[in-house]
Structure 1
Amino acid sequence: MTELLDAVERTALLTAALRAAETRREDRIYEDPFAGDLCGEIGDELLAEVRAATFPTQGPRTLPSTPDYNAIRTRYFDDYLQQAAREPGMNQIVVAPAGMDSRAYRLDWHRHTRYFEVDRPAVLAYKQSRLAGVAPRVDHRTAAVDLTSPDWEEGLLAVGYDPGLPSTWLLEGLLYYIPEADGHRILERVAAFSAPDSRIAADVVNAAALTLPTMRGLLDVFAGWGCPWVFGTDEPESLFDRYGFSVRAIQPGESGADFGRWPDPVPPRDETNVRRVFFVDGRRR
C-alpha cells in the first residue's frame, strides 16, 4: 500500500524508521514496539538517505542530528500528551496529522480519554493494514481527512469530537512542510474548533533553517523526495498568539527538552543566522 502514499505522506515512514532505530538503542529514551512494522522497507531506505547526508564519511557533521532530534521530539510530546490527559476534564486528544504515530497503542491512557487521529485516507489505511489485530489502549477514533481541505472539521465531528469541550492538539511534523498561508489557516481553524483552555503543541523551524548553506544537505534530501521545507518562523510565540494561544517555545537541548541526548550547542534566541527548531506548547485563551 505504500505506492498510494505521496511524498509528504511517506515522511511518516521515515519517522517510524527513526523510532524503530531509537527502540533498538540500549540508551533509548522511549520504546515504540510498533515502529518497525510501520516503517517498512521504504522507511529504512529514507532513513539511510538522511543518515548519509547527516553523518558524512568525509568531514565533520554540519547538519543537526536527525536521530537525536526525533528521539527528543517523540519523548517530549509523549510526556506532554500524557500530562494533558491527566488534567481534570481533558478527555479529547487530537493528533493531526497522525502519520505513523502509535501512542494510542504503546502508552497508557486515562479511561475517559478519546484519542483522535486525523490524516489523509491513504495514510490511515496503510497504518491500519500494518497494525491489523493490534488493539489500541484507549478509545481510539480516526478521521480520514486532509487538514488543508475546506471541511476537515466535519470529519472530526462525525467520529465524536466535541468542540464545546477542552481538547489537546498535537501538530507534529507538519508546519514546515506546508505553505505559510496554509499553516495560518490551519491554526486559525484549530483555534476556532477548540474550547477555551484547550491545549496545543507543535514543532516548527526558524526561517534561517530553510536557507542556511549548512542546512543544504538535509534540505536537498527532502526536496529531492518532493516534500521541501517551505515555512519557518523566528517568533513562534507570536505566530500562535495571533490565533488565541498563549505558548512557550523551547529548543532541543534546553531544560525539559534534552533527555541527555542533544549533541549540539543551543543558540541564544538573540543570535541570528543560525538554525533552530522549536517545541511549542500552550493553551487557548
Structure 2
Amino acid sequence: MMADSATNHATNLGTIERTALLTAALREAETRREDRLYSDPYAAAFAGDLGRSLLAEIRAATFPPGRARTLPSTPDYNAIRTRFFDDWLTDAAREVDQVVIAPCGMDSRAFRLGWPAGVRLFELDRPVVLAAKDEVLGAAEPVVDRRAIGVDLREDGWEADLAAAGYDPGRRSAWLLEGLLYYIPEPDAHRILGRVRAQTAPGSLVAADIVNSAALTLPNMRGLLDVFAGWGCPWLFGSDEPEELFARHGVRATAVQPGDATADYGRWPDPVPPRTDTGVRRVFFVHGTRTGE
C-alpha cells in the first residue's frame, strides 16, 4: 500500500534531486488527461505538494497570462519523453535481462510497465532519493525483480555496489540515463558515459536525453533557465552532435527530437527545426548500441 506522499524525506532532497518531484508532478498531470500518453498511478503520491509547487513555477514561466508562449512546453515534452523511454525500455527488455535506470528518481516503471519474466531492474540514485521513494511506495510490490542501490553517480565505487546487487558487466544490458546529463558539468558527463562504457558488454543498449548548446544560452530560453538556476540546479551541459558524443564512449547512436516521427505521439506543439539550422533550441532522445570498439 502506498503512503500519501514522501513528506518526511522530501525536505532532505538536494536541489537537483527535487527535480524528481517536478517530474512526478508532470506525470501526475499527464495521468489525469483523457488523451494521456501513459498512466502513472504512483505519480501523485511521489509529487506531493512540493512537486506541484515546482510545476506551478514552470507553468507560470512557460504559459504567461496574456502573452504568447515562447518557451518549450515542458508538460508536452515530459509526456513525450516518458512515453518514448517507456517504449524503449519495454523493447530493450525483450533483448536483455539486465536493465539499469540511473538516476531513477521518482520513477515507477518497476511497478507499472509490463516486464518479461527473468529481467532484473537496477535502480541507481542517491540514498536520500531512494528513502523518499520507499516512504511513498510502502508495501507496494514491483512487477519485476527490482534492486535499488543508493549511490552518487559522480562519486567512485558505485560499480562495486552494482555488481554486489547482482549486475554482471560481462553480459549485455540496457542503460537509461534520463534527466541527468544537462545538470552536470561536461567533464562529469564524459566521466559517467565512460564509466557506463566500462560496465557494458558489446551489444548492450544505451539511451539518454540531452539538450544542445544553444538551449543553455538563447535569450528566449532565459525564462525556463532562470527557474532552474533559481532552484540551484542550472543546466550546465549540452551537445550539438549527440551521435558523436556517444560514439566517443562506444555507443553507435541515433538522436531524435520531440516532434520527429518516432517521438511525437501527436503531442509536440512546435515546429521541429532541421538539424542544419543553427541558433535554435533542441532536445535530443539518444539511443543506440554499445559497439565492440
Q: TM-score, normalization: structure 1?
A: 0.99
The amino acid of 1:18's aligned partner reads: L
The amino acid of 1:19's aligned partner reads: R
Does residue 235 of the first structure (1) align with residue 241 of the second (2)? yes
Matches of 1:3 and 1:27 in 2, distance apart?
A: 33
Does residue 160 of the first structure (1) align with residue 166 of the second (2)? yes
Matches of 1:217 and 1:65 in 2, distance apart?
A: 12
Matches of 2:71 and 2:161 in 1, distance apart?
A: 39
How much has 1:114 moved relative to structure 2? 0.2
Does residue 61 of the first structure (1) align with residue 69 of the second (2)? yes
Aligned to 1:79: 87
Does residue 143 of the first structure (1) align with residue 149 of the second (2)? yes
Aligned to 1:47: 55
Matches of 1:157 and 1:142 in 2, distance apart?
A: 12
SS of residue matched to 1:127 = helix
How much has 1:59 moved relative to structure 2? 1.3
The aligned runs of 1:164-203 (5 Å cut-off) are: 164-203=170-209
Aligned to 1:18: 26
Matches of 2:118 and 2:204 in 1, distance apart?
A: 16
How much has 1:58 moved relative to structure 2? 2.7
Matches of 1:282 and 1:71 in 2, distance apart?
A: 21
How much has 1:205 moved relative to structure 2? 0.1
Aligned to 1:277: 283
Matches of 2:219 and 2:158 in 1, distance apart?
A: 37
Aligned to 2:5: none
Matches of 1:42 and 1:249 in 2, distance apart?
A: 33
Aligned to 2:125: 119
Correspondence for 1:3 among 2, 11, 14: 11
Aligned to 1:130: 136
Q: Deviations over 1:130-161 (max 9, x none)?
A: 00011000000011000000111111111111
Aligned to 1:101: 107
The amino acid of 1:263's aligned partner reads: P
Matched pairs, number: 283
The amino acid of 1:45's aligned partner reads: S
Aligned to 1:224: 230
Which blocks of at least 5 consecutive residues in structure 2 are unaligned? 1-8
Q: Deviations over 1:27-60 (max 9, x none)?
A: 1010000000011110000000000000000311
Q: CA RMSD in A?
A: 0.5
Matches of 1:195 and 1:125 in 2, distance apart?
A: 31
How much has 1:170 moved relative to structure 2? 0.2
SS of residue matched to 1:217 = helix
SS of residue matched to 1:204 = strand
The amino acid of 2:39's aligned partner reads: E
Aligned to 2:6: none
The amino acid of 2:288's aligned partner reads: G
Which blocks of at least 5 consecutive residues in structure 1 are unaligned? none
Aligned to 1:265: 271
Matches of 1:107 and 1:268 in 2, distance apart?
A: 33
SS of residue matched to 2:261 = coil
SS of residue matched to 2:11 = helix
State the percentage of identical aligned residues: 65
SS of residue matched to 2:147 = strand
Q: Deviations over 1:56-96 (max 9, x none)?
A: 00311000000000000000000000001012xx1001000
